[in-house]
Amino acid sequence: MALSERAKPVEVDVESFFSGQVNEDQIKKVQEDLLVEAGTWRTVPQVALKGQMNEHSDYPKGRPIVNCVTRLVSKDGEKQAVMRFNLAPEAPAKNAYGKWDRATILWNNVVAAAKKAGLYDGTVGSVLGMVRDYALDMRIIRFTGDDGEPRNVVMSLSLPRE
């Protein structure tokens, strides 16, 4: 179809949206559909890594973390998803409940995996390189937050188990 043959978009008065009601049920369904099913997933190599100073209220402000975004494949290979998680290679921290925070726990998981895989040379780079370039098993849970919203959380990262 040539560009000139495409239907022209119908303009809608944006002001008409301002008086409408938000469909809360639809919003909740979309949020739930965007969540990853609980279970064990496999990361796909070429994980995107981004260093940043953390400003999230659940962690010490100004703490350097590595934000990771990965594609996932279900164990049966039938489903795909995307997941984000943080690693804290420099500053372990506890959360408001006095427990090690998720970024600290996951960092410890990937250091152990790098050692077991023989990829660990004592440097942060050797561990981050493994996270970026090798498949890992990621255990994910689903829960309802204090605000009543459904969420995913990465519980652990490990070498793939066949």
* Counted domains in the chain: 1
- Whether 68 maps to a domain, the answer reads yes
* Any domain includes 30: no
Domain contains 10: no
In a domain, 15, yes or no: no
Residue 3 lies in a domain: no
Domain membership flag for residue 17: no
CB count within 10 Å of CB 90 equals 11
Q: What is the pLDDT of residues 12-61, one digit of tens each?
A: 788 877 888 888 888 888 877 778 899 999 999 999 999 887 666 555 66
Which tens digits make up the pLDDT trace of 53-88? 766 655 566 778 899 999 999 988 999 999 999 999
DSSP, collapsed to helix, strand or coil, labels residue 134 as coil
Contacts with 127 (C-beta within 8 Å, 6 or more apart), sequence order: 89, 107, 110, 111, 114, 119, 120
- Expressed as residue numbers, the domain containing 63 is 36-89+101-158
User: Is 16 domain-assigned?
Assistant: no
Q: Would residue 146 count as lying in a domain? A: yes
